[in-house]
Amino acid sequence: MHVPVLLEEAVSMLALQPDGVYVDCTVGGGGHLACLVQKLGEKATIIGIDKDAKALEEARKKLADVSSKLILIHGDFRRLQVILKMHGISEIHGIVLDLGVSSFQLDDASRGFSYQEEGPLDMRMNTDQQLSAWHLVNEWSEERLALIIRELGEERYARRIAREIVRERQLRPINTTFELVEVIKRAVPAQAKKDKHPARRTFQALRIAVNEELEALEEVLPQAVEVLASEGRIAVITFHSLEDRIVKTFFKRESLGCLCPPDQPVCTCNHRARLKIVTKRPITPTEAELARNPRSRSAKLRIAEKI
């Protein structure tokens, strides 16, 4: 079952204008979307975007009876401005991005996201795209695999894992999640298997690479600021340091009036602050939420407001 993370915190700090336009860029299990509908009422226009067609279908069923102006769109949020323009929307009052993989996707073994469930080596959020985790594992070079596992998974044994993957696929294709897990277990030392699952970081790296998650985040953030109305807010929930670093850096940059070196006497960058950071420190789950949903342990919520 999908359990939305930091639900009340994110939505309560966004849902400020009952007749405004709000966008949920990552519909997932529909939790944040449903909460927006409940908070804002029938005068608001609420848009849900997701590249996972199955997630949208579930959200459509869940929200079949709502009276708000609800628009559900199958698309990639990295095309945010194009999507909004296609629907005649030039300005919005709030936007939420709940990043990463949802419980809805993790719990479906056929999607191949989980190292704890047997399934095909897939990991595509958009099942229409061709590139899957199978292609990365069975076709990418050892060097390229080691690079993404180290950088996107922050895995210290990336080189050993990549080497073992290549050794295994020379004998037979690696087709399932459990086959890959066994390869990873052989590659890492016994000490690394004690605290957390040894495949956790590699699976994260493959998923991020397959779905170009970091590139998409870097593309959508400036678009979100462009379409936000004055005093409109953006809320981003991240689940690992790579995502959080991108959001934190972007918010900080857009909150500064000048980006020139401190010792430069005259500003030449012509940069103007566009955001006010609302959360000086990220909001994290309470002990009660952690008890209800252990998957929320790494979540961080950052919110900024358009000046």
CA distance 35 to 19: 15
Could you tell me how far CA 102 lies from the centroid of its own chain? Answer: 9
Task: Find the Cα–Cα–Cα–Cα dihedral 20, 24, 25, 26, rounded to 10°.
Answer: 180
User: Which strands make up the sheet holding 275-277, listed edge to edge?
Assistant: 69-74, 45-50, 21-24, 92-98, 228-238, 300-306, 275-277
Is 76 exposed, middle or buried (CB count within 10 Å of its CB: 0-12, 13-18, 19+)?
A: buried
User: Do residues 188 and 156 make contact, with C-beta atoms less than 8 angstroms apart?
Assistant: no
Q: Comparing 1-15, 118-132, 176-190, 247-261, which segment has the lowest mean pLDDT?
A: 1-15
User: Do residues 62 and 30 make contact, with C-beta atoms less than 8 angstroms apart?
Assistant: yes
Residue 182 has pLDDT above 80, yes or no: yes
Greatest mean pLDDT among 11-15, 57-61, 131-135 lies in 131-135
Average of pLDDT values for 121-128?
A: 96
Whole-number pLDDT of residue 295: 82
Residue 211 has pLDDT above 90, yes or no: yes
Whole-number pLDDT of residue 304: 98
User: Do residues 71 and 88 make contact, with C-beta atoms less than 8 angstroms apart?
Assistant: no
Average of pLDDT values for 32-43?
A: 88
Residue 64 has pLDDT above 90, yes or no: no
Whole-number pLDDT of residue 68: 64
Percentage above 90 pLDDT, the chain: 74
Average of pLDDT values for 77-89?
A: 96
Mean pLDDT over each residue of the chain, to the nearest integer: 93
pLDDT digits (tens, 9 = 90+) for 219-243: 999 999 999 999 999 999 999 999 9
Average of pLDDT values for 116-135?
A: 96
Residue type (1 letter), 180: L
Whole-number pLDDT of residue 3: 66
Residue 1 has pLDDT above 70, yes or no: no
Greater confidence (65 vs 20) lies with: 20
pLDDT digits (tens, 9 = 90+) for 253-299: 999 988 888 888 888 888 899 999 999 999 999 999 999 888 888 99
